[in-house]
Structures are given as C-alpha cells and as structure tokens.
Amino acid sequence: MTTYRQIPVQQLNREQASSELAALATEIKLHNQQYHQLDAPLISDQEYDSLIRRNQAIEQLYPDLKRIDSPSKQIGYSPANTFEKVIHRQAMLSLDNAFNPDEVQEFLNRLYRFLGMSLSTNIDFIAEPKIDGLSINLTYTNGQLTQATTRGDGMVGENVTNNARTISNIPAALHGIFPRLVEVRGEIYIAKSHFIQLNAQREKQGDTLFANPRNAAAGSLRQLDPAITASRPLQFFAYGLGAIDTNGWTTPKTHQQWLIQLQEWGFIVNANYRLCHTLQEMIDFHQYMEKSRDQLDYDIDGVVYKVNDLSLQQRLGFISRAPRWAVAHKFSAEQATTTLKDITIQVGRTGILTPVAELEPVTVGGVVVSRATLHNEDEINRKDIRIGDKVLVRRAGDVIPQIMHVIPSTRSATSKPFVFPQKCPVCGHPAKRVDGLVAWRCTGGITCAAQAVERLRHFVSRDAFDITGLGIRHLEEFYRDGFVKTPADIFRLHQHQDNLVNRVGWGKLSVQNLLSAIEQRRHISFERFIYSLGIPQIGQVSAQIMAHYYQELPRFLHSMRQAHAKESSAYQELDDIEGIGQAMADDIVMTLNDPEQIAVIEDLMREITVQPYKNLQISDNHALYGKIVAFTGTLQHMSRHEAKAMAEKFGAKVANNISKKTDLLICGEDAGSKETQAKLLGIKIIDEKTWLDLCQQI
C-alpha cells in the first residue's frame, strides 16, 4: 500500500486520496488496538489526532471515497467496546490445570470423593488434545447459525457472528436432525504452516508480526471488518456444548457420543481423542500426545480429560470457574537459558516488595521473555541467584516466566549474593518483613506512590471497574499531577477536562473517550465492587462468594464493621462462609475497618452506585432460596460436597456451624451435636429423604 503522507490533502489526486484513505484506515485501526486493547500506544495523542484529522479532510474532499471501515465512523468508540456484548446463556468456564500425574491423581480423588464413590468404581474418561487457540460459542437456532460469541470474561462475551461466518469449517447450517436450539463450543486456531505464511506476507507489507499462532487467531477474529477475518486462515475444532433446548430431540448420553454427533452435524472434531479407563491410560495418552506434538500442524498445550458419562458430569457440576468433571493436563513448560542482567524491586498494591529478574531477552516457546518473577527473598537465597548469572528460564502457557535455576559453571568469580533492600525503592519508607510470611512490605501505606498507583491500577482493571484507556502510564501521570489520588477521583476527572486536553500527548478525542469510558462505569455489580477494593487475598472467586452471601453493599459493610470484634456473631458468620478461610476473613475485616479505607469507600459512594447481587439462574421461588442451611451426619445418597453444591445451586447458603440464623438442618445418619443444638434453638430439622425431595423441586 503506497502512502502519500508528505502530500498536503488539497493536492492529493483521486487515486492518491483513495490509497491514502486505505492506509489511514489500517494505521488508525492498529493504533486503536495498541491504545485501547494492549494499553501500549505507539504514537502520541497529537500524532493520532492528526491522522484522524487528515482522514476527515480527505473524506471531505472526496466524499464518495469514504470507506465502509472508515475510522471517522468509529470515532467515540474504543475498538474493545465495538463488538456488542452478549451474556452467555451458559457460562463459558475455564479448566483447572494439572502439571504432573500426581495432580491428575488428585483430580480423580476429588472427583470420586465428591461423588462419594470408591476409587475402585470404574469411571470412563475421554482424553483430548488441548488446542491452543481461543474458544468460541456458536448458537444454532433451528439448525441455522444465529450467533457466535467469544468467551470474554466467561459470563459476557462479544458478538463476532459476522466474523465467524467467514470461517469455512464453521457450518452455516447443521446437517441431519437437531434440537431447537443448541450451542456448540470449540476452539478457533490458525495452523502452524498458515501462521508462517501469514507472517511472511505481513513482513513483506511492512505490517507488525504476530507473536504466535494463538495471537494471530485472536487478532484475526476480533476484527471490525469481517472481510479482514475472511482473509485470514482461521479454522475450528468443535469439542463441546453449551445451552440446549432439546424440544423432544434425544440427547447423547456420553461425551463420546456428542463428539460423533458434532461430526454428523458437519463439524470437525479433533480425531486424536481416546477413551480411557484408568489413570495409567490417561497418562499414556498424555505422553503420546506430547511426543507427537511437533508433528501436528496446530499448537496444543496439553491434554484435557473429561468424564465421559454426562449424567455424572451433571452431578459433578462446577466449582467457581471450572468444571469438576474435567481437568487440563499441561505439557511440560518450554525452557531457555539467558543472562540475568539485574534484579529490580516491584511494589505491589498492598506494599509487598517483589523481586523481578531483568533478563537478556530470549525466546521461550515462541514468546520473547525479558522479565521473570523471583517471588521473594527466600527464593533468591534458596536458588542462590546473583546478578550476572546465566539462568534457566521456563514458561508454561500463560503463566509468568520463572527462573528454574542458575547454571553454576558459568558464574563469574567476582559475583556476590544479592542483598534484599531494606527500604521501599519508590517512597523510601523502611521495609518490614511480614509476620509469618516470607515477604517484605513497604511501610509507607497510602503515602507510597507505588502502592497508591497499583491500587488504582487494580481498581480500573478488567475484572474490577474495567475502565479502558486508563493504563498505568496515565494513572502515574494523573497521580503525580494530583488529579487522581483515590478511586473516587477517577469519577471526578471530568473536572480537569480542559487541563487534560492541553497536555502533551493528549488530544481532545482521547480525553473524550476516556471520560465516556469512566461515565459508563458509575453503576457497578456488587461482586466487581468487592474485588476492586483490592483486599489482600480476595480474588474474583472470593468476591463473588461474599457478594452472593451478603447480597448488597450496605449489609456487607455493616456486618464487616460489627465483625471487628472477633467474638461477634458477624465475625463468626463471615468465618463460616464456605470458601472464606480465617486468614481471608481477618484481612477483610481489617481492611474494611481501616479509617483510610472507610474514607475512600465513603468518598467513592458519592460518585457511584453499587447494584445488589444478581443471583444467576436461581429461581427465587425455590424453598431453599435465601435460606441458611447446615448438614450433619452421613448422607446415604450424595456426598457432603455434592449436597452443599446442590444447596448453593438453589440459592441457599451453607454454614458449617449452627447459629440462631440457621433456617434448616439436614440430618443424615449418626447426626452429631449439631442436632441437639438445633433442637435447642428451635431450628427446623429434616431428614435425608425430605432433603432429596426438596432438591427435586425446581
């Protein structure tokens, strides 16, 4: 593509203008992506604005040359938001990982324990290659492809239907007989040989190269212009199902039968799957695939084991974000040696000082690695890692690269052990070793710029407030200039609009985009809000558990204030929540009673609205909905784990102990002291049979 950037707009002839518009469309698209999705702008905002203005001026001069994918049509939208958001009918979950046979054995133990079965009972598994691409959900209504969505955050994905339609092995219509609605799930990927061709072609055109086939597939699918997707060699393997409305159609009983059905409908199912009866057979298959990996024309990063019997899958259900009935057994990580140039110290949002290895860049499994985590001081001492050493670096999938060990023979005679700094490299406050932990922590608290900025970064991150366009670079700048010191300040950033527009590297357009992205987040779900507070140890799953338990923010905050006293029933209640351990409970209570945090939250509440928790797919008519239940004794028909999962599925909360808040006690055989306690407190008690009846009611 020839560009005529040096020619002033007024002097462009028609042909040059057309070529220039094409070049600008591609370039602006790239910069949008760099800025909004990768948070890594390649040019200043002024340069970006001048590209936009040039594009507009040419369009004004030659209105009939305006392109379908004209950047001027997309102004005001960030590309990350340009695809319509779609709530999945059925969540698209991820898989737990196992890295060795022992962890696969643990997976089996958990599964048998959950089902209350002895390990000698036979359960069949299907072992399949784990394709390293990106997952997609394809909805077929009356046999026609009606929607395709990316995984997104698992709950909400992006509508990429027009793009998916361009992929030749995604059937537009199902063959044979099919249910009224069915969702087919699988992996989109680019073959290794096609990837090499694609990058060679891009190199010739002067386009940036893709790092690996997976990135190429993701970048190709998420194109605003389906014609670009169509020009990329995307392929699809089907491996599973989402929601289904059978309307009388008889569903397969095993995963294997489903794979056959998917083929009959016209999908390509990866042929390298195997039915396994024992752990040994599963491990053998893993070894076989790991050996044949290089001969395949697509990347795989492990093997997935799935329970074959679908009724067992149903019983096993899910835990947080992954099914209990499947696990991904990853291949061993890829490794490379390089030189450790330096050890720097990163300050996290809770003040933890993390040593980071600065490496001579090296390619590990197709990705360039220049930094690796060193975890903590003990890790450095244990492995005796010194600046200047040659080290073995390992990278497993998306996991942060690690240093395995030093290559001792290459060590210089003058090298010295690394001395961990005694003060914070950012604010200079003394560092303190945290009781019971190996970590050092900066004592600067909220006065430490690094901690404050890291908290803000967590606050705006994708799983928290998800504010696009507010990357670390901007947060540092705004913090330094005093515009944003606390989360609430983000929502007051509009007061500085004029000042922002005038600063170097910022254009009117990017300021507008940012402010509108912020405005869109004034309403936030309860679980995201809890997560965004950055309480130590509280990740998405525990935030979700608490949101589910407390239902709304005022009740949660009130209860946490009361829980300040350890002997209070509020503390006991928190500690009793399944999935919230005591250490977590202590961190939550401590954080939410810290005067600084209280002030931050109160200030924030003046700017935003936190919505009450939305119970997903739970009918509030069910007799168990909203109830606090407890179990005692041995259940004959389901394991304790299964019973708890069942109760939660219907919207009940399961407590480990009896208190006056308990609504219902389910007694199995040989009930213990809980039964006596419940009788004393006048709590309703039911037996297993009545419990099973309750579970049947939908």
Q: Which of 31, 36, 54, 130 binds ligand IVH (CB under 6 A)?
A: 130
Q: What is the 3-state secondary structure (H, E, C) of 627-692?
A: CEEEEECECCCCCHHHHHHHHHHCCCEECCCCCCCCCEEEECECCCHHHHHHHHHCCEEEEHHHHH
Minimum distance of ligand IVH from residue 247's CB (angstroms) = 24
Give CA angle at 129 (124, 131), nearest 5°: 140
Instruction: Please choose, out of 21-29, 102-110, 127-135, 630-638, the segment that lies near ligand IVH by the rule CB under 6 A.
Output: 127-135
184 makes contact with ligand IVH (CB under 6 A): no
* Number of neighbouring beta carbons within 10 Å of residue 416: 9
Annotated active-site residue in 66, 85, 130, 204: 130
Q: How far is CA 235 from CA 144, 165, 168, 417, in A?
A: 19, 11, 7, 51
95 makes contact with ligand IVH (CB under 6 A): yes
**Nearest one of 265, 233, 266, 213 to 166, comparing CA atoms:** 233
Minimum distance of ligand IVH from residue 95's CB (angstroms) = 4
Parallel/antiparallel/unpaired status of strands 326-330 and 97-98: parallel
Which residue, 226 or 323, has its beta carbon nearer to ligand IVH? 323
**Nearest one of 341, 456, 448, 337 to 403, comparing CA atoms:** 337
Residue with smallest beta-carbon separation from ligand IVH:
135
90 makes contact with ligand IVH (CB under 6 A): no
Tell which positions 311-330 bind ligand IVH, by CB under 6 A.
323, 326, 328
Rg (CA), the chain: 28
Q: Which of 17, 51, 131, 450 binds ligand IVH (CB under 6 A)?
A: 131
Q: Which of 128, 389, 527, 648 binds ligand IVH (CB under 6 A)?
A: 128
Which residue, 252 or 323, has its beta carbon nearer to ligand IVH? 323
Which residue, 115 or 262, has its beta carbon nearer to ligand IVH? 262
Residues 6+ apart with CB under 8 A from 89: 139, 183, 242, 243
Instruction: Please choose, out of 29-37, 124-132, 199-207, 255-263, the segment that lies near ligand IVH by the rule CB under 6 A.
Output: 124-132
Q: Which of 25, 86, 93, 170 binds ligand IVH (CB under 6 A)?
A: 93
Are 206 and 30 in contact, with CB atoms under 8 Å apart?
Answer: no
Q: Which of 187, 454, 575, 688 binds ligand IVH (CB under 6 A)?
A: 187
Minimum distance of ligand IVH from residue 653's CB (angstroms) = 25
For tokens 């923010």, name the residue: 553
State the virtual CA torsion across 429, 435, 438, 443 in degrees, nearest 10: -10
* Number of neighbouring beta carbons within 10 Å of residue 144: 12
Give the Cα separation of 282 and 304 in Å (integer). Answer: 10
Which residue, 133 or 633, has its beta carbon nearer to ligand IVH? 133
183 makes contact with ligand IVH (CB under 6 A): no
Give the Cα separation of 190 and 134 in Å (integer). Answer: 10
Minimum distance of ligand IVH from residue 94's CB (angstroms) = 4
Which residue, 12 or 259, has its beta carbon nearer to ligand IVH? 259
Minimum distance of ligand IVH from residue 206's CB (angstroms) = 32
**Known catalytic residue at 130:** yes
* Distance from the Cα of residue 91 to its chain's centroid: 13
Minimum distance of ligand IVH from residue 494's CB (angstroms) = 38
111 makes contact with ligand IVH (CB under 6 A): no
**Catalytic residue annotation:** 130
List interacting residues with ligand IVH (CB under 6 A). Answer: 93-95, 128, 130-131, 135, 151, 187, 239-240, 304, 323, 326, 328
